Amino acid sequence: MKTKIDYTFTVLLIVLGVCHTSFTPIFYKVFDLNALWFAGTGMAFVFLGLINISRLQTTGMLMKILCSISNALALIFCILIFLKMAQPQVFISLFILLILLGFSLFDLRSSRAIR
């Protein structure tokens, strides 16, 4: 059950990233630096989702550590965005990242180092 919920939130993060990136031409009529940052944030969500899929598919301790660090950094980044603009999509990303950070820390805590 935990794995299904973990996969669900990981897929939600990837979908959020794809939507975020694909909405760039709608929100930004001019392709400038702001549009690149907006699209880059969406791509970062996609890459973070792929890292989380890697965590779910491997038993390696290093991947689990790197995924936990990546989830924590992404959560900090979203908190900083939230402090600048409190919009619904930021709440959604904060919620998803908080859940994924919890799952990755739980996964890290329950795994053992392989020698």
CA 77/CA 25 separation, integer angstroms:
23
Kindly report the pTM of this predicted structure: 0.85
pLDDT in tens, the chain (115 residues): 788 998 999 999 999 999 999 999 998 988 899 899 889 989 999 999 999 999 999 888 888 999 999 999 999 988 888 888 877 778 888 899 999 999 898 887 776 555 4
103, two tokens: 């799952």
